[in-house]
Amino acid sequence: MFNRQPHASGMSNSGDHETIIAQGVTVEGDFVSEGSVSIDGNVNGTVRAGSALRVGPSATIQANVSAGNAVIAGTITGNLQVTDMLELTETARIQGDVQATRLSVAVGATINGRLTMGESR
C-alpha cells in the first residue's frame, strides 16, 4: 500500500508543472516557466511558457508572449508566438503580431496585427 510508486497520471519531475497568476495579481518583468502557465491577472513584461499557456477572460497582458500551445480568452498587447496550436476564444483580443503553426479563431475574437501561419524558420 505505501510502496507504490507515482504513475504517469500523477505529477512528474519532467518540468510539466502549472503556474497560476490569479485574478487580482500583477506580475512586472520577465516571466519564464518550463511548464504550463494559467493567467487570470495582469502581466507587464515578457511571458514564456515552455508548455501550455491559458489566458483567462479577465487577464490583461502587456508583453511579448511565447508558448508551445495556447488558449487565449483575454487581452494581449504585444507579439504572440506559439510553436504548435493557438486557440482564440470569442473574448480574445490581440494587439500585435501573431505567429502559430496551427490556429483556431472563434467568432468575435480580434487580431490587430500581422498573422503568420506554419512552422517558424
Decide if 10 is inside a domain: no
Residue among 4, 109, 104 nearest 57 (CA): 109
pLDDT of residue 35: 92
Decide if 87 is inside a domain: yes
Rounded Cα distance between 82 and 84, Å, is: 6
Range of the domain at 36: 18-117
pLDDT of residue 120: 58
Asked whether the whole model's pTM tops 0.85, one would answer no
Rounded Cα distance between 65 and 56, Å, is: 14
Decide if 12 is inside a domain: no
Decide if 9 is inside a domain: no
Decide if 5 is inside a domain: no
Number of domains in the chain: 1
76-95 as b/e: b if 16+ CB within 10 A: bbbbbbbbebbbbbebbbbe
pLDDT tens series, the chain, 121 aa: 444 443 333 333 344 578 999 999 999 999 999 999 999 999 999 999 999 999 999 999 999 999 999 999 999 999 999 999 999 999 999 999 999 999 999 999 999 999 999 875 5
